[in-house]
Structure 1
Amino acid sequence: MRDDPRLPSAPGFWRSPLRGPWFTSVLGLVLLAGITVLFVTGLLSYAAYNPDLAPVNDKTPDKGILGFYLFAWPTNPHWLYRLNQGVHVTLGITLIPVLLAKLWSVVPKLFALPPARSLAHALERISLLLLVGGALFEFVTGVLNVQLDYVFPGSFYPLHFYGAWVFFAAFAAHAALRTPAALRNLRGPRNDREPRPAAEPACGTDPLVSPRPGTPTVSRRGALGFVGGGALLLFATTAGQTTDGPLRRTALLAPHGGPDPGTGPNGFQINKTARYAGIRPSETSPHTWRLVVTGRTGTVRLTRTDLLRLPLHSAALPIACVEGWSTSDQWWRGVRLRDLAALVGHEDDPPDVFVESLQLRGAFRHAALRAGQVADPRSLLALYVNGEELSPDHGHPARVVVPAAPGVLNTKWVARLTFGDL
């Protein structure tokens, strides 16, 4: 049965002359570097949410030892999260053609019989199956989250987080087994870099090489050029979501890419509108809105007028989202979080703070910030942006802005701040 050319388990079923060790090795080494960067930036993104700080920040409460590396996310440099997520999302989308070409190049191995010839071969086959399934799961869920924003039956965060660990474990095992051979293939004979003519029988026993190849219509170098061109096209239509200048206009695949929406001081990217969040104008009216601040010495209630009587400070900070998009630096003005902490008894030692929003539905209605974030002089309860009052969609009457923090931790429509142990 395995020799029946009509079955995918037969070596002669797969006739493309492009497949071969050199072609697969080039793609594999590109993915080795790219996926390692993706994994590291993904872990850093998770750390930026400060999941060990408070349950409201932790979207994967059962992570156990998988959270061994977590650390207090810094506030310097202020563009740190913007860079991290820009690299993570843009690189992930850019690698899609490389991943698809690599899967195509090794598809004969998925059907090869017998399933295992030795223990090492069995481990390689298992790692390959986990690798293929994990890669498709991670890339598909990542792209869906970027393009459609939370379309999963469960939360995106645990699905992508646990999937990443399973995928990378298989990836690391496969890389350990195959990287030495891939490096040897790159140093192999130059004639392995081009497909053999159909009339020339394949030599050797490599399962990627067809024993009866079809007529080549493109060279392997040409095929790599085609894959590279596709990757470059995806890069050009995605990278602008996290940069300033002309590239932003080419970010056609980024939901919040393209030119800044609208005009004026509030004319920059918005993740969720006031309408989506269920914010009613009556709740944000100066006659009804009050900021409740609680701490060591009790509770104070402040109107917007009260806040304007406090010392106001400014900071130029971006908003950067887990989906990879970000704004340029916007000029925010408001009251320092550490000054609000001082109002309730934390003059010298600003503690952690629990921030609550007027938002009625959706993720991150509440968020916690670390003491180091509160103490940073650029961390503000912002009342203005770019010289104008915040618009309703940007968090009027007040929003939190913290350097280097994920956008969802820059809570909009703030109603309460609780300083102290969380």
Structure 2
Amino acid sequence: MRDDDPRLPSSPRLPSSPGFWRSPLRGTWFTSVLGLVLLVGITVLFVTGLVSYAAYNPGLSPVNDQTPGKGFLGFYLFAWPTNPYWLYRLTQGLHVTLGITLIPVLLAKLWSVVPKLFALPPARSLTHALERISLLTLVGGGLFEFTTGVLDVQLDYVFPGSFYPLHFYGAWVFFAAFVTHAALKAPAAVRAVRGRGRERERERERDELVSPRPEAATVSRRGALWFVGAGSLLLFVTTAGQSIGGALRRTALLAPHGWADPGGGPGGFQINKTAAYAGIDPAETGAEAWRLVVTGRDGRTVRLSRAQLIRLPLYSEALPIACVEGWSTADQWWRGVRLRDLAALVGYDGDPPDAFVESLQRHGAFRRAALRANQVADPRSLLALYVNGEDLSPDHGHPARVVVPAAPGVLNTKWVARITFGAL
């Protein structure tokens, strides 16, 4: 139809009216390119998100399970490994960085299909009805997942309830809609992207997304895609450094734990939870007051001062701390007692069992955490007393903290007061 076609209203006022959406950029080819990028990106996001949840070992203990009642949605859970030691740093860094990088693509995709949200009649066939339902769920779920994810990364926990179940269940709803929509639209999207010349022109004539009364173009579709890509690249550059580390950390302007390492000296690396925030009383962590209580087989218990721990065999390991918000530290040199050696003190001379770690902290999540037997047995898993050659600072967990390779940061418990082996 031409702009002066009498079948078109002269001044359409409703979003459902023909000609209301007048951008010349909209069309199946444009939205298909964006859709295929999201097909790959969102699949990676979903998989790395599930992997992150598995890293908490939620089937091990209720204190590790942040989504109680998940039922069959936990079918895929597996025992999280300790090798390679940078595994969680990689998977969660990829999850957060990719999620932020895809925001311009998601917004452009939603903009490109917004006329379909208002199209009448609501359903022309069963297939069309399924497509509309999947589209509405996809749009709502996508906005929810990306919004809650960004807010969690930038502002920590700002939700009316725990972030974990909201994001977990939202991800399943969103991905179910995403798979349905992809199954319905992916073949047409591939054809639209691969079409050439006259074939593409014939498709445009039947294209519901093409405006019947387009305005004059100010940029080509390819130019618009370059613009979207530039926005994604900008977000990548200003975020990725928080996970990659090194000199690139200075480019992480949008990352809350990016830019330069905080402070200086051996303890000058990222801190997610300070001693003041956790409610740590300095009187409880002094040499006279603090004791580590270790309990094991048949209730055997030992109480160890920090001085006694220092007299035990000490080992050093270079390990990072990686957090669910996507940030991570560089490898830090930790020195302390192996967890499996502590298990041996209370009757587990062979393969050590699972462990339950309790902290002195009074505020914040993960005051307690459970570790699997493979984590306890790993010779790199330490009850750390030093970092980078000096005593732990109060904010890094003085007098002692757990450090486990490949574990999420919150399972590397600070201000440890008690470890119970074989209690799960």
Q: What TM-score, normalized by structure 1, do the two folds share?
A: 0.96
CA distance in 2, matches of 1:10, 1:74: 56
Using a 3 Å threshold, how does the CA distance of structure 1 residues 190 and 89 change in structure 2: closer, same or farther? farther
User: Paired residue for 2:86?
Assistant: 79
CA distance in 2, matches of 1:421, 1:281: 29
CA distance in 2, matches of 1:61, 1:73: 19
User: Paired residue for 1:288?
Assistant: 289
Alpha carbons 2:273, 2:395 under 8 Å: kept:
yes
1:99-150 CA-to-partner distances (Å, cap 9, x unmatched) read 0000000000000000000000000000000000000000000000000000
Matches within 5 A, 1:17-416: 17-190=24-197, 204-297=205-298, 298-416=300-418
The structural deviation recorded for 1:204 is 2.5
1:366-406 CA-to-partner distances (Å, cap 9, x unmatched) read 00000000000000000000000000000000000000000
CA distance in 2, matches of 1:350, 1:77: 21
1:259 is paired with a residue of what secondary structure?
coil
CA distance in 2, matches of 1:272, 1:191: 61
1:13 is paired with a residue of what secondary structure?
coil
1:200-223 CA-to-partner distances (Å, cap 9, x unmatched) read xx9623220000100000000000
The structural deviation recorded for 1:11 is 2.5
Alpha carbons 1:3, 1:9 under 8 Å: kept:
no
CA distance in 1, matches of 2:343, 2:212: 74
Q: What TM-score, normalized by structure 2, do the two folds share?
A: 0.96
* Code of the aligned partner of 1:272: K
The structural deviation recorded for 1:338 is 0.2
CA distance in 1, matches of 2:199, 2:151: 38
Alpha carbons 1:11, 1:207 under 8 Å: kept:
no
1:1-39 CA-to-partner distances (Å, cap 9, x unmatched) read x97521100121000000001000000000000000000
Alpha carbons 1:11, 1:108 under 8 Å: kept:
no
2:83 is paired with a residue of what secondary structure?
coil
1:298-346 CA-to-partner distances (Å, cap 9, x unmatched) read 1110000110111001111000000000001000000000000000000
Using a 3 Å threshold, how does the CA distance of structure 1 residues 296 and 3 change in structure 2: closer, same or farther? farther
1:69-94 CA-to-partner distances (Å, cap 9, x unmatched) read 00000000000000001100000000
Alpha carbons 2:141, 2:171 under 8 Å: kept:
yes
CA distance in 1, matches of 2:38, 2:103: 10
* Code of the aligned partner of 2:282: P
Q: Count how many residue pairs are aligned between Structure 1 and Structure 2.
A: 415
CA RMSD of aligned residues (A): 1.5
User: Paired residue for 1:199?
Assistant: none
Using a 3 Å threshold, how does the CA distance of structure 1 residues 32 and 103 change in structure 2: closer, same or farther? same
Structure 1 segments, 4+ long, off by >6 Å, are none
* Code of the aligned partner of 1:353: A
Using a 3 Å threshold, how does the CA distance of structure 1 residues 188 and 398 change in structure 2: closer, same or farther? same
Q: Calculate percent identity across the aligned residue pairs.
A: 81
Using a 3 Å threshold, how does the CA distance of structure 1 residues 239 and 190 change in structure 2: closer, same or farther? farther
The structural deviation recorded for 1:187 is 1.5
Using a 3 Å threshold, how does the CA distance of structure 1 residues 326 and 192 change in structure 2: closer, same or farther? farther
Gaps of 5+ in 2: 1-6
* Code of the aligned partner of 1:360: R
2:19 is paired with a residue of what secondary structure?
helix
CA distance in 1, matches of 2:103, 2:324: 19
2:191 is paired with a residue of what secondary structure?
helix
1:384 is paired with a residue of what secondary structure?
strand
CA distance in 2, matches of 1:203, 1:276: 59
Gaps of 5+ in 1: 197-201
1:129-177 CA-to-partner distances (Å, cap 9, x unmatched) read 0000000000000000000000001000000000000000000000000
* Code of the aligned partner of 1:218: V
Using a 3 Å threshold, how does the CA distance of structure 1 residues 208 and 57 change in structure 2: closer, same or farther? same
